[in-house]
């Protein structure tokens, strides 16, 4: 099997999974609101605040926030570089589907919201291991929100989360 055939099959599966997960615009208002609120936690404002506000507080939380901010910044730079290199169009531009939130840009791969949420989750999980599971689960929910709201394919989300995890690992090894 050639790499182009493999990539084509992966893309087809990604689109099929996306279609099954998508919340239709006619879905109950509470369901749409739930996912719209969850997705905000991966946005620039929320993720930057989560990584910087504790620095002003001092103490163990500030000690955890500094490397978390480094993971967030480095992973975001990687995400933006990959987005502009790959230039994969968002689902709404490639297939006929409605989005339930405003798209931050026209590129889909990888998901910046998913990367940001995972960067913050991993940064604090490293510092506070008992909180690791709830933090990572919350980050997975942010990633899922990007798919169900129609702005990313599942592969975009997974790639964004992996970029953050690998960035955290690389920064820890330095």
For residues 45 and 158, give the distance between their C-alpha atoms in angstroms, rounded to a whole number.
22
Cβ neighbours for 135, distance < 8 A, ≥ 6 positions apart:
120, 121, 122, 124, 125
pLDDT above 70 (res 120): yes
Which of these, 110, 108, 137, lies nearest to 122 by C-alpha position?
137
Task: Name the least confident of 9-23, 42-56, 75-89, 117-131.
Answer: 9-23
* 133-166 pLDDT per residue, tens: 999 999 999 999 999 998 999 999 999 999 999 9
pLDDT above 70 (res 7): no
Task: Return the pLDDT at 106.
Answer: 86
Which of these, 102, 168, 96, 156, lies nearest to 132 by C-alpha position?
168
Between 87 and 171, the higher pLDDT residue = 171
For residues 69 and 40, give the distance between their C-alpha atoms in angstroms, rounded to a whole number.
18
Q: What is the pTM of this model?
A: 0.91
Q: Which CATH class is domain 3-21+28-173?
A: mainly alpha
Residues linked to residue 108 through DSSP beta bridges, in sequence order: none
pLDDT above 80 (res 96): no
């Amino acid at each position: 099997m050639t790499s182009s055939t493999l990539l084509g099959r992966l893309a087809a599966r990604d689109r099929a999974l996306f279609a099954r997960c998508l919340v239709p615009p006619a879905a109950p208002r509470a369901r749409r609101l739930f996912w719209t609120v969850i997705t905000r936690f991966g946005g620039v404002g929320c993720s930057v605040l989560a990584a910087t506000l504790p620095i002003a507080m001092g103490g163990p939380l500030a000690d955890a926030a500094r490397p978390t901010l480094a993971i967030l910044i480095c992973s975001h730079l990687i995400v933006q570089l990959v987005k502009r290199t790959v230039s994969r169009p968002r689902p709404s531009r490639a297939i006929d589907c409605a989005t339930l939130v405003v798209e931050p840009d026209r590129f889909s791969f990888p998901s910046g919201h998913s990367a940001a949420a995972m960067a913050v989750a991993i940064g604090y999980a490293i510092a506070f291991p008992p909180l690791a599971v709830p933090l990572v689960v919350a980050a997975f929910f942010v990633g899922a929100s990007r798919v169900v709201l129609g702005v990313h394919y599942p592969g975009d989300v997974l790639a964004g989360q992996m970029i953050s995890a690998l960035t955290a690992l690389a920064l820890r090894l330095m």
